[in-house]
Amino acid sequence: MMLLADPLALDIAHAFAVAGPGHWLGTDDLGRDVLARLLDGTLSTLLVAAVVLVETAIIGIPLGIAAGWHGGWADTLLSKLAEVVLSFPGLLLALALAALVGPGMGNVMVALGVLGWVGFFRITRVQVMALRGQPFLQAAQLAGVPTYEIWWRHVLPNCLGPLLVQALLVAAGTMVAESGLSFLGLGIPAPYPSLGGMLRDGMRDVLVAPALVVWPGVVLFGLTVGMNVLADGLRQRFRPV
Amino acid sequence: MLSCWAMMMVMRRVLGMIPTLLLVVGLVFMLIHLVPGDPVAALLGDRATPADQAALRAALGLDQPLFGQFLKFLWGILHGDWGTSMVRGQPVLGLIGERLPATGLLALAAMVVALGLGGVLGVLGARNRTPLARGVAQGVNYATLAMMAAPSFVIGPLLIVLVSVKLNLLPVSGNASWDSLILPALTLGLSLAAVIARMTTASLEEEAHRDYVRTVLAKGAHRGRVLWTHTLRNALLPVVQIIFLQMGMLLTGAVLTEAVFGWPGLGNLLVEALHQRDYPVIQGCLLFIAFTYMVCVLLADVVSALLDPRVRR
């Protein structure tokens, strides 16, 4: 990364430098390179989103398949649990959980993953329940195909469309949650760059250097809106006719 | 207006909420126990003596068996004893009551923004008679998608830079005068406006294909008249429901919006408590917001049942 400055390197003498060669987007209140911090922060946000996505999919999808396939008391219990988690509005519980566990990228990943599986669980469960009575699955069962193979080869591929949409929504939601936490100072701890943290720091000097708010704001806006537009497009593509 | 039937329905719904309420209380109660390690040690730091730790543990009731603690917690909540702030030394319920008016005002203003903007955008999004109207509708569709997706802590700072810093029209933060309410209300109301707009559009489009619309048009009524006196009325039913559902979401949005604008409401109380690890206040705020949210969901069901006789079956 020779092209970019160190995102953590302090240079107080050149604080609030305007954009120009050397610092393509200028520097912040501590003289750190804004472009380097922006890229590093975006990378962290995407990394958290990717890890949480994998986490929630690994927990939520198998549970959803099992619950939708077998039903019974385990299904009732998990569904009730999902309902309770969803009866808390949005990221509030994630906020509380992450705050209590303490700041840190790993903790944010855990806190968001603990709550995020619910979405995957519900989507998968409903899909599987709709599929369960289909003749091709009954045929597979009668042919003696083992249950796990039915799940893997027949059930899962038929749920892929809605799951892909859900994955994009989870990624978008995670990015919002992570940057929201970092904005409140409860996410990725200073001095490591995060888009939410840069927004909060920028707000302190908004009268002096509004660009420090605009850059992370625009990047976050683009990321979240882009993800949602993509999800919306996929939803229409996969809409049952 | 509230007939015997309506009372019965409300009662049934309230009773149905009890198990969920219990689980919510349980979850909030468990928060303090989910913290890795000893919460008392984390609160007091390294220099605390074992005696200090024991005293705090006893004050928090953490030295008692888990189930007993839960029953005591539940009992307190039911009797208006939501604990005492560990930092401020005031009762939690009193603190919430102090901050509630500011959040209520913000939520109300955001609702006004959302209804006005959402209604206009919703009707614009459903017009498709001319190429120009279709273009506008497409634009509205993208705009509402963006409004819904962008979080309040991004919209807020960007609005501050544009309106307060560049144009110097409104104050940056605080609640010193009435005009400091405008930007927070706009920030909080935008996503709700988008939801209302999209719901109105979808609902209007659905209504436009109904038989009664064709009949009225065949009788020679003007299209504008059909929209305002016939379709819009019917189309607003699902919108009313979504408005009540989203009222609960306003409270969450308020947490971050208040943090952006330094608005002294419930959200800022929660954020302060999170930073200070003031467990009783955190639990109190979470419970209060969750309860309010659930009441809003209940109201959504009741209102839609009262408005639409078809739901009553």
Is there a single domain that holds both residue B116 and residue B242? Answer: yes
Residue B7 lies in a domain: no
Does the CB of A189 have a partner CB in chain B at under 8 Å? no
Say whether pLDDT at A106 is over 90.
no
Average pLDDT, chain A: 85
The CATH code for residues A37-238 is 1.10.3720.10
Q: Who's near A20: CB < 8 A, 6+ residues apart?
A: A26
pLDDT band at A4 (very low <50, low <70, confident <90, very high): low
Interface contact B248, partner A, CB < 8 A: yes
Say how many domains are in chain B.
2
pLDDT at A142: 92
pLDDT for the residue numbered B120: 92
Residue B172 or B278, more confident: B278
Closest partner residue to B251 (CB to CB) among A89, A214, A221 is A89
pLDDT band of B181, cuts 50, 70, 90: confident
Residue B202 forms contact with A (CB below 8 Å): no
- Most confident of the ranges A84-93, B35-44, B277-286: B277-286
Q: What pLDDT is stored for residue A61 in this prediction?
A: 93
Per-residue confidence (pLDDT) for residue A2, from 0 to 100: 47
Q: Is the pLDDT of residue B1 over 60?
A: no
pLDDT band at A89 (very low <50, low <70, confident <90, very high): low
Question: Could you tell me if B155 and B297 lie in one domain?
Answer: yes
| Inside any domain, residue B262 | yes
pLDDT of residue A146: 92
User: pTM to 2 decimals?
Assistant: 0.83
Helices (H) and strands (E) in chain B, counts: 13, 0
pLDDT grade for A43, boundaries at 50, 70 and 90: very high
**Structural domain contains residue B109:** yes
Which residue in the block uniquely carries the two structure tokens 């250097």? A209
B222-268 tens-digit pLDDT? 888 888 888 887 888 788 878 887 887 787 778 889 988 888 889 89
Judging contacts by C-beta atoms under 8 Å, the chain A residues touching residue B271 are 184
Residues B208 and B127 occupy one common structural domain: yes
Convert the pLDDT of each residue in B277-304 to its tens digit: 788 898 899 888 888 888 888 888 777 7
CB contact under 8 A, B146 and A225: yes
Q: How far is the CA of B281 from the CAs of A14, A22, A108, B270, in angstroms? A: 42, 47, 22, 7
What is the rounded CA–CA span in Å between residue A100 and residue A8?
27
C-alpha–C-alpha distance, residues B282 and B5, integer Å: 39
| Of A207, A182, A209, the residue nearest A196 (C-alpha) | A182
B142-166 per-position pLDDT tens digit: 899 888 888 889 998 998 888 888 8
Q: Which residues contact A223 (CB under 8 A, 6 or more apart)?
A: A42, A45, A172, A175, A195
Is there a contact between A100 and B19 if contact means CB atoms under 8 Å apart? no
Residue A1 pLDDT grade (very low, low, confident, very high; cuts 50, 70, 90) = very low
Q: Do residues B45 and B159 both lie within one domain?
A: no
Long-range (24+ apart) CB contacts under 8 A made by B43-46 are B43/B86, B43/B277
Residues B69 and B159 in one domain: no
Q: Which two tokens stand for residue B147?
A: 């409004």
pLDDT: which is higher, A102 or B29: B29
For the segment B304-308, the average pLDDT, to the nearest whole number, is: 72
The arithmetic mean of pLDDT across residues A191-196, rounded, is 88
Residue B67 falls inside a structural domain: yes
Say whether A217 and B256 touch across the interface (CB within 8 A): no
B119 and B184 belong to one structural domain? yes
Q: Residues B128, B223: one domain?
A: yes
Q: Please report the ipTM that was assigned to this predicted complex.
A: 0.82
pLDDT tens profile B50-107: 888 788 777 777 777 778 888 888 888 888 888 888 778 889 999 999 999 999 899 9
Residue B38 reports pLDDT greater than 80: no
Q: Which residues fall within 8 angstroms of residue B207, CB to CB, at 6 or more apart?
A: B213, B231, B234, B235
Within 8 A of A110 by CB-CB distance, chain B residues are none
Domain that holds residue B66: 37-81
B244-to-B178, B209, B291, B303 alpha-carbon distances in Å: 26, 27, 14, 8
Rounded to the nearest angstrom, the minimum Cα separation between A207 and chain B is 6
Whether the CB of B161 is below 8 Å from some CB of chain A: the reply is yes
Same domain membership, residue B148 and residue B283: yes
State whether B208 and B62 are in the same domain: no
Q: CB distance A99–B274 less than 8 Å? A: yes
Residue B5 lies in a domain: no
Average pLDDT over residues A131-153: 90
Least confident interval from A66-75, A232-241, B42-51, B85-94 = B42-51
Q: CB-based contact (8 Å) between A95 and chain B?
A: yes
User: Whole-angstrom Cα distance, residue B43 to residue B134?
Assistant: 59
3-class secondary structure, A20: strand
CB contact under 8 A, A92 and B289: yes
pLDDT at A53: 94
Is residue B244 a part of any domain in this protein? yes
For residues B53 and B171, membership in a common domain is answered with: no
Whether residue B95 lies inside any domain: the answer is no
- Sign of torsion over alpha carbons B2, B3, B4, B10: negative
Q: Is residue B165 domain-shared with residue B49, that is, in the same domain?
A: no
Contact residues on chain A for B40, CB-CB shorter than 8 A: none
Task: Please tell me the predicted confidence (pLDDT) of residue B311.
Answer: 57
Task: Check whether residue B243 and residue B143 sit in a common domain.
Answer: yes
Under an 8 A CB cutoff, do A88 and B158 touch? Answer: no
Residue B109 has pLDDT above 80, yes or no: yes
Last residue of a domain, one of B81, B114, B144: B81
Question: Averaged over A123-140, what is the pLDDT?
Answer: 89
Question: Would B130 be classed as within a structural domain?
Answer: yes
